[in-house]
Structure 1
Amino acid sequence: PLYHKVIKKRKKVLAHDERNECQIGDRVRISETRPLSKLKRWKVDEIIERTE
């Protein structure tokens, strides 16, 4: 950034959860992969933080 400000960005993406273990609100690490469907280009690598 021009003025050395810290900027955080968030974006919702569709990611493939192969083992179906994620819940709504979980924080996960994703990685880019080949296109799996029309909108899915990401897969879930690990769950960082679970919601209760």
Structure 2
Amino acid sequence: MPKRILSGTVTSDTNDQTVTVSVERRFKHPVLHKTVRKSKKYRAHDANNTFKVGDAVRIQECAPMSKSKRWEVIVN
């Protein structure tokens, strides 16, 4: 099964080797037929501390690295 890949923006880089990435998705409401924006934060592994707040990144699923880290940043 392929690993999921999401695109988002780094919102925090204060922890060592970890970045918080905010991923926004848009969809049409089933009843109101209005475009709705929802965002969710993911904690991702950044081994070299290369990404800073505001960077656009892609993250991919990986094996659990800690209690909250289940994603890793893909280097393009």
- TM over 0.5: same fold? yes
CA distance in 2, matches of 1:10, 1:34: 23
- The answer to which structure has the higher strand fraction is 2
Report the 3-state secondary structure (helix = DSSP H, G, I; strand = E; otherwise coil) of the residue aligned with 1:35. Answer: coil
Shift of 1:7: 2.8
Of residues 41, 45, 51, the one that matches 2:70 is 41
Q: Does 1:12 align with 2:41?
A: yes
Q: For structure 1, which segment, 37-46 or 2-11, has the greater mean C-alpha deviation from structure 2 after superposition?
A: 2-11
| Percent sequence identity over aligned pairs | 47
Q: Which is bigger in relative contact order (C-alpha 8 A, separation at least 6)?
A: 1
Q: Does 1:32 align with 2:61?
A: yes
Shift of 1:41: 0.3
CA distance in 1, matches of 2:39, 2:53: 16
Q: What TM-score comes out, normalization by structure 1 length?
A: 0.68
Gaps of 5+ in 2: 1-28
Equivalent residue pairs, number? 47
Q: What TM-score comes out, normalization by structure 2 length?
A: 0.51
CA distance in 2, matches of 1:33, 1:5: 34
